[in-house]
Amino acid sequence: ETRIVQSDVVILSDYGKGGLTHIADMIRIARAHDKPVLVDPKGDEWGKYAGATVITPNRSELRAVVGRWSSEEELAAKAQKLRGELRLEALLVTRSEEGMTLFADEIHHQPAQAREVFDVSGAGDTVIATLAVMIAAGADWAESIRVANIAAGIVVGKLGTAVVTRRELAAAL
């Protein structure tokens, strides 16, 4: 609890390895201290993420939970229904070549950054980390996902698990 109090934002990245067995308690404690909680979900039992600020599944992770969709309207309906059920402020779906879509009170879409893709390893981690920095800095959802999308576009253009430097991000912005 002391670490949460000292933090501006909390990221919970669930790798499904058992390290986050008390994730519901962690979310509850962080939210009780008014800390935004960003979750990278795993598996298909997402009830434990209830009350988080935002979860950031990729397309296939979301499909495993809500089922297939055949249109943007159907995706939006399923995403907003899940957001309501889990009491999330937002749901950010990373969609590979389709970019990313944030479902909140408004829907914000960012198309994929057109560039050569060398390695998608770590793209989701880059998105959630950048989103966390932006939220902690007071940015709104639209600006936060715009910058997170640009950061992800930079990292997929590198080989292996890579990072985006502040200089690279500033140059891209």
Residue-wise pLDDT for 97-130, tens only, equals: 889 999 999 999 999 876 777 777 778 899 999 9
- For 51-119, give the DSSP string: T-SEE--BHHHHHHHH---SSHHHHHHHHHHHHHHHT-SEEEEE-GGG-EEEESSSEEEEPPP-S--S-
Mean pLDDT of the region 130-147: 96
Length of the chain: 173
Higher pLDDT, 160 or 34: 34
User: How much is the pLDDT for 114?
Assistant: 60
Residue-wise pLDDT for 7-61, tens only, equals: 999 999 887 777 778 899 999 999 999 999 999 998 888 999 999 999 999 999 9
* Residue type for position 71: S
**Which of these, 141, 20, 46, 165, lies nearest to 89 by C-alpha position?**
141
| The one catalytic residue among 8, 14, 40, 125 | 125
User: How much is the pLDDT for 86?
Assistant: 98
Report helix, strand or coil for 143.
helix
For 128, other C-beta atoms within 10 Å of its C-beta total 22
Distance (Å, whole) CA 123 – CA 88: 22
Give the least confident one: 60-64, 119-123, 150-154: 119-123
Distance (Å, whole) CA 62 – CA 69: 10
Q: Which of 83-110 are b and which e, b meaning 16 or more Cβ less than 10 Å from the residue's Cβ?
A: beebebebbbbbbeeebbbbbbeeebbb
Q: Is 25 a catalytic residue?
A: no
